[in-house]
Each structure stands twice: as structure tokens, then as C-alpha cells.
Amino acid sequence: MSNKLNHSMSLAKPDALDISNKQKVALSAGVIGLFILALALFNTNFPNKALFLTLSLGLIIGGIVVYSREAYLSKLEGIKNDGVWFKSISSRGVWGWIVGVILTTFYIVLYFFPKYLGLGVDGAENTGLISLFDPLSHLLSGRNASQWFVYGTLYTVAILAFGYKFILKYRHNRYQQLRTVSVMFFQLGFAFLIPEFMYVMNNDLPYYDLKSIWPLNYYIFDEWSVNGFLSNGNIGIALLIFGILSIFVFTPILTYKYGKRWYCSWVCGCGGLAETAGDSFRQLSSKKMSAWKLERWLIHTVLVFSIVMTAAMVYSYLGYDKNDFWLTRGVFISLVIGFLTIVFAAVMLFKRHELGKDAKYGAIGFFIVIALLLIMHYTGTTDHLFYIKAGALRSAYGIYIGSIFSGVIGTGFYPILGNRSWCRFGCPMAAILGFQQRMFSKFRITTNGGQCISCGNCSNSCEMGIDVRHYAQKGENIVRSSCVGCGICSAVCPRGVLKLENDTMKGRINPTEILLGNDVDLMDLVNQK
Amino acid sequence: MEHIVIIGNGISGVTLARHIRKLSDKKITIVSAEADYFFSRTALMYVYMGHMKFEHTQPYENWFWKKNRIELKKGYVKQVETETKTLHFAEGDTLQYDKLIIATGSKPNKFGWPGQDLNGVMGMYHKQDLETLEAHAPNNDVCKRAVIVGGGLIGIELAEMLNSRSIPVTFLVREDSFWNGVLPQGESEMINRHIKNHHIDLRLSTNLKAINSDENGNVKSVIIEETGEELECNVVGLTAGVTPNIDFIKDSGIEIGRGVKVNRFLETNIPDVYAIGDCAEQHEAIGNRRPIEAVWYTGRMMGEVLAQTICGNKMEYKPGHWFNSAKFLDIEYQTYGWVFGKNGRPDYEQHFHWKHEDDTKCITVAYDKNTNQFLGINTFGIRMRHEVFDKWLTEKRDMDYVMNHLSEANFEPEFYSRFENEILQAYTNQLQTA
């Protein structure tokens, strides 16, 4: 094991943290399940695919279930973080790197070389791994499996099995349990089953995971997608309207009331995987100030990119003539610019003082977007925008953001960068929700007076890399764009200092220098300044 | 430019340094022999348990100190010369100061037990103690059993640490119930049961007689005073309280008692020399507080106050309502105001005690039996709001008000079961039967 990366003071690997025999058996079962998938990948032609698929997934799920029960139910309820920085897999040790490389490779093949997984091209039969999943796909929707079906199934299995593990780990914590049941429900129902059933009912409808909201769902307003909706009568129109309402109406209301957690750690599929399968890696996210700086540049750049890209996509298939359809290119660009300007003006008017020097960066970002939209409008032709083919922009976004960032780096690097690197550095939806959470929401993590002892458990377990302690030890509430409200900081706090709650906006952000418990005159003198 | 030298980079000294920097441009140097950078002492246990790495216990990144022009000097002060305002280091060099602050914290108590300096006997206070523990108790092969002597907060933390590596622990507690000098009986007994539930061998009313050595000077066993029983073990943790860590100023002319004697302004008898935190001893105790307050929070508060004095706004140390917290294995404990256990309980103090049937949650509310005024609350396994109790204590609320408004003080995570009704019911029943 790499000593270089293990900065723990442990001189020897504590043997006492070895797993029990029952856990070893469970682990072996899981490995056999994975091995069946590997055999399929290398084109073993199983005689009864349905049986072997069931066996494989059954062994994986059963292995995780038995392992977790042994790990947590044999002990009293409480925080179960013993040895996370000793174990190779959760401390960037050899196992961490091996798992990281395997996951990353899987994502690269999945996104860019699905034929290696056995995808039958041009009507050919599936082979390999994908063909193993054909029976399940036939059962659900009557069609052959695709690489996305395989991925969706494994993804769902991971959220369900590791979700169960997480529920046991936090069996004393009702917030954690409800939240986990919620992500398990949304993954199984909304992301996995409902789209399959929708296909059975109407196979012209585009795949639509109802909980996947633009701009996370970056293709929902693409021409093929919108056409798909429009050509399907009322149900299609209803779905399209639902998609638009989701981002412009439902999201702001829910985020105002509950913070972005209603989505990021209760509903979202990316969040769901991070919170369940990724839970063992949460401590790996960097808490350095430099990482926070990088985060703010990166995520807002992606946001700008995704707004401009979506506007360009919609723009590219709109006409010039308002006799054909009221929404022409001119009207559309005016609507977008008008909307952004209203948001920008409202923030500058009401929240200018909270932003400090960040207001300047916000203004720069805003004017860049407006300038890009105007340039697009005045230089664009029928099929070229920004002097390149409109589709090229969209596929660049799809490859670099949709695939490489969210999948390959976001999930593949779980054991290296922590479980939320996509959510933290790349997700444009998180950027929008986070912006609102910081500016206009009742949500905060309340700090309990002067009770913090600066131990650092909160910061250590923050998957979004927030230095929670920095606020808590000043008696200050935590109001940060990136907080997904997972509540683990509150759970691991040994002194009961942190509480996630929705309360009034007033006094939500409360910087203090002198903490509660000291001389009241001193508190008045210093804190009132 | 005035040079402020602070000996000790714990919470008191560092809080002081940060506040002086906010208020002034003075030159600041923090001296420590223990660690290069400030770390949270209370978090050392989590390093051994593998929840965190040592670097995670450091609340500020390493660039913080340079950015804020706080100089860090690693060295052991062996002598303070107050006439020439000079510090002499064990390493041979010296340092001049204009104002000196002693913030050297505590060290573990040793009561002269035979064998108390053997290899494998340790306290759990300094970073070096953690390193010693790691060497002597890396796992349950090397350390077959550990014996902990002293039933206080550090003792139970050490027990939890060793337990996390499946090292069998025998826990010797002098009192007939865990920490019952401080905790009321109901709470103390609940913690006794909780300790045993964790398979820790808790021995109440039991004292250490001697520690035996093997041929290499390592711990071999301990002898129990009451029974004469010999317990084989490889590690002995001495956690029977702490004493101010001030041996180095004994010949400096700075007045000392158990700690460095200070007045309400945290000044010592020597001009320009101050003491804060665990090592400071008030000439006269403030209210119900002890003259030496070895608590994280009070160290921080003294740092906050003294910064004002040093920067020209002379201010008394006048702490507000008492509060504290701890965690006993899986049970969190918070206290606001005064609730006394066996020791020092005033006659007028009466208790209302409620315990949940699962035996992991309870509260004790103290009130004045003559005036019915609310005096304080201990809460176990239920988080409560500091701000609310601080306010009620200031407003001198009575017991009925507190019991009827307890839900306002709830600080539990969302969706947790609430017990205010049950508690109020128990309170009302008690009044009727009383």
C-alpha cells in the first residue's frame, strides 16, 4: 500500500479493522456476480441469459446486503467512520486507484466504444455484456437492450444496494434514511422503470426521465427531442411544458423553501449515486481554499456554456418568419436576454451588498452571455452559429461536459476526487440551484451558538468540499451555494453543533467574531461593528 | 512595533493571536514545542480511530499564518526572564518580547503510582501522546489489553479510541458511578450502562495500586488496590484529570498556584505578562466556575477578551452563562447553566430528571426549589439550542416556562422523534405526586 499517500499517523495497518469471515463470503459473492458480467463482456455465450443475469445481479445485491448487515447491525447505533482513512479503498490507496481506473475505463467504453460492450450496430443482434441484459429489457419494454439500458440497470442496482447499506449505517438518523429512500425511489421509478413503460405506451416519445431537469438534462430542448414531444399530441406537449415548468417554476419555489437539497440529495440521480455508492469516498473531496476557487470558476463556466449552447440549439431550429410560428429567432433571443437581465437586475438591486467583490465576476459573466447571444444573432446563418455548424457546438457540449465531465471524471474518479466532483465542479443545474440557494432561500445550516470545538469532522465528511468548520467555529451559519444538504456534517458532529433547517431569510447569514457564551458587552462591542 | 509573544499554540493562544491581528498591526509570534501548526486537541481521538488524518484536525491551512503575519516558532521555552523580557529556549536560542502571554494548557495528572513512568503508560492530551499510543497500541495483537485509570471525559474518549481497534479495555473508575462528581446520578448511571454495552470492562469504585513492568521496562500488568487483582495489559492510560503545564516558569517570579495566578484582566503579578486558557488560575473563582477552567470554550473566550486589553481597550474576563459539551461513545451531552452532580451542589438546587425508555436519552433540569427559577439543563442524546437557553438564563425564566417551551430549544435533525410532550407529561406528573 502506498505510504506516500497515507499521511495517517498509523504506523501499521490496524489489523483489528479487518473484515469478518461472513463479510469475506459476502464480498466473494459480489465478486462472483461481477465476474459473470466480466465473462459476458468477453463474449461468453451463456445458455440461459435470464438465469445468469439474475444470478449475477442477485449475487452483487446479496453480497452488498449481507456485508452491510454484518458491518453495521453487529454494532450499536452511531457514527460508523472507524478506519475510513486506514482502508485502502477509501483513502486513495491501491484499491482506490484500481477501482478508479476500472470505473473510468468502463465509462470511456460506455460513452465512446459501446460496441466493445456488445452493442449490435445497424440492426445486428447484441452480443457480450449487452446481450446478457436483453431478457430484462424485453421483459420491461419488449425491445433489445442498449448500452444505456445496461448502464441504467447497473446504476439502479448500485443505488438500491448501497442505499440499503447507507440506511443501515445511519439507522439512528431519520433524515438520512428518508433522504436515501427518496433517491432510491426516484432512481428506480423515474429514471429506470417509468421511461421504459412510457416507451411501451408510446414508442415515439423521446426517453424522458421526468426528474432530470434542464440544464442537467441538456438535450431536452434539442430539435429531435422537441420534435419528439410535439409530434405526440397532448401527452408530448404536456411533457414538454412540464420540462419548461420544472426549471422556471417548480425549481425556484422548492429551492426557496428547502434549499437545493430537495433536488441534489433527495431526487437527482447523479446525487443519488454519489450519496449511496459514493458515500465511502465523501472524505476525499478537497477542502482547500484553492479547490473552492477552482470550483467557482469551473462550475460557472459550465453554466455559461450550457445556457449559450441551449439557446443556440433552440435558435438553430427556429425560423425567421412569425407567420409560421410565433416563436421566431428574434423573439426567442429577446426572451432569453430579457429573462437574464431581469434576474441580473434583481440580484444587483436587492443582493448587491451580500455579494461583495463577487458582484464584479457576476456582472462579467452576465455580459459575456449577453454578448455571445447577440453575436450569435447577428452573425448566425441558417446552419452556422459562431461560424461553426450548430450541431458541432451541441456535440462538443455533449462530449466534454455530458460525457467526460459528468461520467468519466465525475463518477470514474470517485475514489480519487471524492463522490461529488461532477456536482461540485461541473453540474450547471447545481450552479443555478446553488445561486438561488445563496441568494434567495430559507435553507441554511444553523450553528449552535458557541459549541463548536473545531474538531473538523464536519469538513472532513463534506462531499462538496465545504470547509464547514470554518463557519461553525465562528458561530456562523453555513450558507453556501454548493451545499447539497446531505446532512452528514450535522450527523457526525460530536457536539450537536449543526442543524439543517428552513427558517426565515432574515439573519440567515450571521458573521460573528465573538461567540455566544462570552461577555455580552464584548459580543455587543465586536459583533455590532 | 510592539512584539507580542504567545507561548502555546492551542485554542487560547491562537484565538488571541487572530483577534490581535484583526485589531492591530503588532508583531505576533506563537511559540510551541508540540506541533508546527495549531490543531484541535479535541480531535486527536479521531485520528487514531481513522475518521480523520492529523492534517484534518488543523482548522487553518498552512498559508493562513503567513498571510496574517503570525510568526510560528517551534521551540521549548525552558526559562522566562521577566526583567529583560527574554525567553530562553531549550534549543539554546532566545527571543525578546514586549508582552508575553502564557497559554501552555495542561498536562495529564500523575499521582505517584509505582510504575507510572514505564513504557506504555501514557496520558491522552498532547500530540505526542497520540504517537505513543499508536506505537504501543496499533492493534490487538501488540496490545492485548489496555487499562484506563480515571473516569472523566478523556478516559472515556481513550476507551472509545481503543475500542475502535477492538483492543479490550478495562476502565478503572474511582467513583461508584462514572463522572458522578459532575453528572447527576440518573445520567451517570445511564452512561455506566452505555459503557458496558460497548463491551468495555468498567470497574467502578476501583483504584490503581501499581503498574508492573516486564524485564524490558514495558508495562506488563496493573494491580488493583481494592482486590489486589493483577490485570495483564500492554498499555495503561492515565486520565485522572489534568494540571496546568507551567513547570518552566517556576523560577521566573511569575506568581503561581496550581496554575498561573491571574486577576480578572488575565494579568499576572508581573507587568506585561498574561496567562489564558487551561493554565490560568483566577485568584477568586468567577461565580460557580472553578478557578482553573480547563475547557476548550473558556480558553477561546479568554483569548477573545485579552486581545481587547492588549490592543488598548482594557477589558475584564467576564464570561456569560456556563455551557459545555462532550460525547460519551455514541451519546452526545450538552449542558447550559449549572446542573451539579455530587460535588458542590447548593442546597436550593433541585432536579427534574427524565429518561427515555431506550436508555440513550435523558435530561436533567436544575431549578431553585424556593423560587422555582430555572438554573440549568443537562441533555443527553437530544441536541438543544445554546441561544435559547442562554436567553432563558438571562431572562431568569422559571421552571414552568422552560418546561412548557422546551420545543423552542430543540436542535435535533429534521424528522427526528420529539419528546417535549412526554417530558412535560413527566414533569406535570412529578408535580402532582410531589
- With 0-12 / 13-18 / 19 or more C-beta atoms within 10 angstroms meaning exposed / middle / buried, residue A372 is middle
Rounded Cα distance between B381 and A471, Å, is 24
A166 and A37 belong to one structural domain:
yes
Mean pLDDT calculated for residue range A63-72: 96
The yes-or-no verdict on residue B401 having pLDDT over 50 is yes
The yes-or-no verdict on residue A16 having pLDDT over 50 is no
In sequence order, the β-bridge partners of residue B100 are: B5, B273
Residue labelled with grid coordinates 425567421: A320
A327 and A418 belong to one structural domain:
yes
pLDDT band at A229 (very low <50, low <70, confident <90, very high): confident
At A483, the amino acid letter reads: C
pLDDT band at B124 (very low <50, low <70, confident <90, very high): very high
A361 and A401 belong to one structural domain:
yes
Mind listing the pLDDT tens digit for each residue in B53-111? 999 999 999 999 999 999 999 999 999 999 999 999 999 999 999 999 999 999 999 99
Mind listing the pLDDT tens digit for each residue in A289-315? 999 999 999 998 888 888 888 888 888
Average pLDDT, chain B: 96
Longest CA–CA span in chain A (Å) reads 81
Of B118, B117, B142, residue with least CA distance to B213: B118
The yes-or-no verdict on residue B432 having pLDDT over 90 is no
**Where a domain ends, among A203, A236, A267?**
A203
Determine the residue among A1, A453, A470, A512 to mutate to test chain B binding: the one whose Cβ has the most chain B Cβ atoms within 10 Å. Answer: A453
Mind listing the pLDDT tens digit for each residue in A387-421? 777 777 777 877 777 778 877 888 889 999 999 99
Residues of B in contact with A18 (CB under 8 A): none
Kindly report the nearest CA distance between residue A288 and chain B, in angstroms: 7
Number of structural domains (chain A) is 3
The yes-or-no verdict on residue A15 having pLDDT over 60 is no
Mean pLDDT calculated for residue range B189-209: 97
Of A141, A317, A144, residue with least CA distance to A224: A317
pTM of the model: 0.93
Determine the residue among A1, A13, A72, A82 to mutate to test chain B binding: the one whose Cβ has the most chain B Cβ atoms within 10 Å. Answer: A82
A266 located within any domain:
no
Of B50, B305, B384, the CB nearest to A522: B305
CB atoms within 10 A of CB B22: 12
Window 104-133 of B: residues touching A by CB (8 A cutoff) are 130-131
**Where a domain ends, among A163, A185, A203?**
A203
A328 and A395 belong to one structural domain:
yes
Rounded Cα distance between B324 and B336, Å, is 7
A230 located within any domain:
no
Whether residues B47 and A9 touch (CB distance < 8 A) is answered with yes
pLDDT band at A3 (very low <50, low <70, confident <90, very high): very low
This complex has an ipTM of 0.95
Residue A401 grid cell: 461536459
CATH number, residue A512 = 3.30.70.20
The yes-or-no verdict on residue A169 having pLDDT over 80 is yes
The yes-or-no verdict on residue B434 having pLDDT over 60 is no
Q: What percent of chain A has pLDDT over 70?
A: 95
Kindly report the nearest CA distance between residue B5 and chain A, in angstroms: 22
Residue B230's φ and ψ, nearest 5 degrees, are -105, 125
Residues of A in contact with B326 (CB under 8 A): 495
Domain that holds residue A170: 1-203
DSSP string of A404-425, one letter each residue: IIIIIITTTTHHHH-TTHHHHH
Residues of B in contact with A15 (CB under 8 A): 139-141
Rounded Cα distance between B50 and B47, Å, is 5
Mind listing the pLDDT tens digit for each residue in A129-143? 999 999 999 999 988
pLDDT at A358: 82
A220 located within any domain:
no
Of A77, A456, A500, the CB nearest to B52: A456
Across the A:B interface, residue pairs with CB atoms under 8 Å apart total: 201
pLDDT band at A529 (very low <50, low <70, confident <90, very high): low
A29 and A172 belong to one structural domain:
yes
In sequence order, the β-bridge partners of residue B27 are: B3
A197 and A300 belong to one structural domain:
no
Window 9-28 of A: residues touching B by CB (8 A cutoff) are 9-12, 14-17
DSSP string of B212-270, one letter each residue: EE-TTSBEEEEEETTT--EEE-SEEEE-S-EEE--GGGTTSS--BSSSEEE-TT-B-SS
Q: Going from the N-terminus, what domains does chain B have, and what CATH number goes with each? A: 3-107+243-310 (3.50.50.60), 121-240 (3.50.50.60), 323-433 (3.50.50.60)
A68 located within any domain:
yes
pLDDT at B433: 65
A416 located within any domain:
yes
A140 and A40 belong to one structural domain:
yes
Whether residues B166 and A16 touch (CB distance < 8 A) is answered with yes
Mean pLDDT calculated for residue range A322-334: 81
Residues of A in contact with B383 (CB under 8 A): 448, 496, 499
**Where a domain ends, among A135, A168, A203?**
A203
A298 and A177 belong to one structural domain:
no
A169 located within any domain:
yes
Q: Is B384 touching A (CB cutoff 8 A)?
A: yes
A79 and A198 belong to one structural domain:
yes
Whether residues B320 and A288 touch (CB distance < 8 A) is answered with no
Residue A12 grid cell: 501499521
Of B357, B356, B377, residue with least CA distance to B366: B377
A154 located within any domain:
yes
Whether residues B59 and A473 touch (CB distance < 8 A) is answered with yes
Kindly report the nearest CA distance between residue B182 and chain A, in angstroms: 18
Instruction: For residue A92, give every residue at least 6 positions away whose Cβ sits within 8 Å of its Cβ, in sequence order, or none.
Output: A2, A5, A284, A415, A416
A85 and A169 belong to one structural domain:
yes
pLDDT at A469: 97
At B52, the amino acid letter reads: M
A4 and A45 belong to one structural domain:
yes
A50 and A146 belong to one structural domain:
yes
Of A11, A457, A495, the CB nearest to B52: A457
